[in-house]
Homo-oligomer: A and B are copies of this chain.
Amino acid sequence: MTTNSTGSADRAQEPSDQEFTVRRATAEDIPGLVAMLADDALGARRETPSDLDPYRAAFDRIDADANQHLVVAELRGTMAGTLHLTIIPGLSRRGAVRSLIEAVRIHADFRGSGLGTRLIEWAVAESRRQGCALVQLTSDATRVDAHRFYERLGFQASHLGFKMPLD
């Protein structure tokens, strides 16, 4: 078990349950969450950490919706990751409820620590707890490391993900 977070050897170990927690995000988390979203090859072009107003408005809408679970992963009390889990009822697959994972980020200080695995495992367990028959996500075609990561966790790249930005 690790006792500090400064050494790369320590970071290579899996965090223990005592050190790792997932909690619902609060409005106070917004600056830290946006910083993580922006600290990413794709996110850097999409996010504006210097202007948090649109994020605050979005947070209020997310927080008011019982099907949205924007969460913060903490390692030894420090914000270390985030994801957004959406619960989606549906008619297909015999009325299956599915969940969608979006906006997965691990703080740069904690990458390679096993935290991403723990966080996705949390999302899968939470989806199961909420009665979902399926968990799904899309990953940009350029994120080859992420694809291997999700496949190791038991996801299958069975689909193509299509997107269309609107003006």
A residues contacting B by CB (< 8 A) are: 30, 33-34, 37, 43, 46-48, 54-59, 61-62, 65, 67-68, 70, 84, 86, 88-97, 100, 102-103, 124, 127-128, 132-141, 147, 150-151, 153-167
Contact = CB atoms under 8 A, between A and B. Distances in A.
Interface centre among A59, A93, A128, A162 (most CB of B within 10 A): A162
B134 A166 contact: yes
Which DSSP category, helix, strand, loop or mixed, fits chain A's interface? Answer: mixed
A55 B54 CA distance: 37
A164 B124 contact: yes
A154 B160 contact: no
A58 B90 contact: yes
Contacts of A154: 164
A129 to B, nearest CB: 10
